[in-house]
């Protein structure tokens, strides 16, 4: 059978490619960010990488589905062609179901290990991570067993006319998704009490909470996915099951992205801070330059010889005898008896400007270090 894209198939193919690309880019940036900040790779990063690989299976299943006529109606095939395509499509669907549960569980454990990095010094949080990890593991085992033995014999899944029994496909899919939502909620809410107890501004607490709760977007997708799940043994199978695999691929791929965002927050914040700091420094330099001429600049008509300005710059702030000819930089006697050099005001003003620039650079560097080590920052604030 020649593969021609029809109807919704071009959009489904584009969706699969875009989802895989977005999740891949986010994972690459996560790993690069770990290396760039010097935090180093840990188990949470490696598990997330495994979750990324597993998510490809769901996107690949969309492409395989297109190959066998996903989104097309029964009457667009001959009876023999339809039966063959449905059988092959259901085989691909059966083979990919275990990847969904594995992908979602691995990503959750990766997030829990990220929490461990941040809050391992808090006793109740450690126990919360242990218990939640156990719940996720039990969900994974149950989902995998149900996916494998949902039909007896297994071949009845892709050959509905064969003798045997199967679980109700729609009930199975919705049960797995609903219980997955429960574990999602637990993982998302686990760090919230600690975030709100941080000794920092309310704005920063909200920012941190939003970073942890970004995974709620995936939970929203899970809810939408439930609405579009259909029985894989529907008479018009290839059309009826179109949206379910699409939302499944979206859920797993965007789950990877959301799990990466708390780590990428470091990179994003540093880039923004650097950009703002660079603009601010350039603006400050442009405004300060006409106001505070450099001390070694000699105005026309000034008879100060070479090297004397350098000596005054090196000895600024001290009252020393210096021979200066009459000119724009002539010394004057103050009421307190101290000889005052007008050019020293320029020197001091320029020095103040340089100190402000150095201070800004130090703040940017410090912000980079703090942001790149979010776990250390939170640990100190708790």
The per-residue DSSP string of 255-308 comes to HHHHHHHHHHHHHHHHHHHHHHHHHHHHHHHHHHHHHS--TT---TT--PPTTH
**pLDDT attached to residue 131:** 95
Percentage above 90 pLDDT, the chain: 29
**pLDDT attached to residue 324:** 43
User: pLDDT-based confidence at 63, cuts 50/70/90?
Assistant: very high
Give yes or no for a contact between 74 and 82, defined as CB atoms under 8 angstroms apart: yes
Q: Please state, rounded to an integer, the average pLDDT across all residues of the chain.
A: 76
Mean pLDDT of 157-171: 85
What predicted TM-score, i.e. pTM, was given to this entire model? 0.69
* Residue of 303, 310, 295, 290 whose CA lies nearest to 343: 295
Percentage above 70 pLDDT, the chain: 71
Residue 54 predicted with pLDDT over 90: yes
User: pLDDT-based confidence at 266, cuts 50/70/90?
Assistant: low
For residue 151, what are the β-bridge partners?
A: 166
Give the lowest-confidence range in 5-9, 45-49, 200-204, 320-324: 320-324
Q: Tally the C-alpha atoms within 13 A of residue 269's C-alpha that lie toward its C-beta.
A: 22
Higher pLDDT, 172 or 257: 257
Give the lowest-confidence range in 60-74, 168-182, 349-363: 349-363
Give yes or no for a contact between 215 and 255, defined as CB atoms under 8 angstroms apart: yes
pLDDT in tens, 104-153: 999 999 999 988 988 888 888 899 999 999 999 999 999 999 999 988 89
Residue 208 predicted with pLDDT over 70: yes
Residue 224 predicted with pLDDT over 90: no
Which stretch, 33-42, 149-158, 191-200, has highest mean pLDDT? 149-158
């Amino acid at each position: 059978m020649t593969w021609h894209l029809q109807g919704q198939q071009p959009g489904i193919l584009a969706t699969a490619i875009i989802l895989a690309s977005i999740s891949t880019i986010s994972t690459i940036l996560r790993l690069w960010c770990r290396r760039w900040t010097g935090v180093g790779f840990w188990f949470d990063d490696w598990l997330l990488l495994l979750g990324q690989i597993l998510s490809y299976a769901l996107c690949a299943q969309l492409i395989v589905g297109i190959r066998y006529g996903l989104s097309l109606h029964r009457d667009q095939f001959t009876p023999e062609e339809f039966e063959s395509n449905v059988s092959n499509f259901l085989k691909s669907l059966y083979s990919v179901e275990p990847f969904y549960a594995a992908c979602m569980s691995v990503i959750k454990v990766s997030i829990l290990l990220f929490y461990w990095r941040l809050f391992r010094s808090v006793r109740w949080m450690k126990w919360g991570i242990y218990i939640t990890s156990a719940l996720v593991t039990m969900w994974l085992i149950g989902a995998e067993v149900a996916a494998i033995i949902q039909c007896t014999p297994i071949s009845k899944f892709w050959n509905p006319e064969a003798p045997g029994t199967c679980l109700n496909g729609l009930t199975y899919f919705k049960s797995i998704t609903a219980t997955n939502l429960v574990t999602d909620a637990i993982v998302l809410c686990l760090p919230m009490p600690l975030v709100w107890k941080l000794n920092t501004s309310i704005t920063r607490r909200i920012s941190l909470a939003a970073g942890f709760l970004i995974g709620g977007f995936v939970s929203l997708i899970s809810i939408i996915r439930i609405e579009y799940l259909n029985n894989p043994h529907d008479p018009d199978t290839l059309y009826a099951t179109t949206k379910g695999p699409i939302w499944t691929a979206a859920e797993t791929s965007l789950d990877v992205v959301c799990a990466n965002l708390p780590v990428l927050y470091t990179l994003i914040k540093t880039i923004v801070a650097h950009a703002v700091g660079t603009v601010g420094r350039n603006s400050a330099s442009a405004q300060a330059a006409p106001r505070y001429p450099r001390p070694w600049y000699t105005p026309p008509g000034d008879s100060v010889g070479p090297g004397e300005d350098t000596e005054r710059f090196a000895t600024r702030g001290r009252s020393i005898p210096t021979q200066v000819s009459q000119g724009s930089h002539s010394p004057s006697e103050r009421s307190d008896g101290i000889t005052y050099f007008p050019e020293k005001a320029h020197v001091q003003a320029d020095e103040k400007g340089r100190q402000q620039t150095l201070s800004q650079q130090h703040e940017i560097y410090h912000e980079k270090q703090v942001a790149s080590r979010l776990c250390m920052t939170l640990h100190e604030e708790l």
